[in-house]
Amino acid sequence: MARFGLDGWTCTDTPAKGGETPILGVFVRQRCEKAADGQRMTVESRHYYKPGQAALDPNTGLPTVNQFESSARLQVVRTEAMGK
């Protein structure tokens, strides 16, 4: 988001759904949109454990590796290409 300026974004946070839990106290499922300079930008961010995922394996008690959702997605569309 910093790439396109921190002002002017409209963001929506979605709460956790059944079984989703924060990672070290942090839960993020957010969609932000901004229109500027003939472009429409959308950023989707996610950071949480999905249902059934955890920091420790419940069977062995050992730390798990990469059992979480952590992603960011950027889409930039020129508004003139959309016919607006």
Q: Is residue 68 part of a domain?
A: yes
- The answer to whether 29 touches 46, Cβ cutoff 8 Å, is yes
Q: Which helix (H) or strand (E) segment is 12 a member of?
A: strand 10-13
Please give the pLDDT value at position 84: 54
Q: Is residue 10 part of a domain?
A: no
Q: Is residue 47 part of a domain?
A: yes
Q: Is residue 17 part of a domain?
A: no
Domain count, the chain: 1
Q: Is residue 15 part of a domain?
A: no
Please give the pLDDT value at position 39: 92
Task: Answer whether residue 43 shows pLDDT above 90.
Answer: yes
Task: Answer whether residue 82 shows pLDDT above 70.
Answer: no
Please give the pLDDT value at position 2: 86
Range of the domain at 65: 23-82
Q: Is residue 48 part of a domain?
A: yes
pLDDT in tens, 14-34: 999 998 999 889 999 999 999
Q: Provide the edge-to-edge strand list for the sheet that holds 28-36.
A: 10-13, 28-36, 39-48, 69-78
Task: Answer whether residue 54 shows pLDDT above 80.
Answer: no
Q: Is residue 57 part of a domain?
A: yes
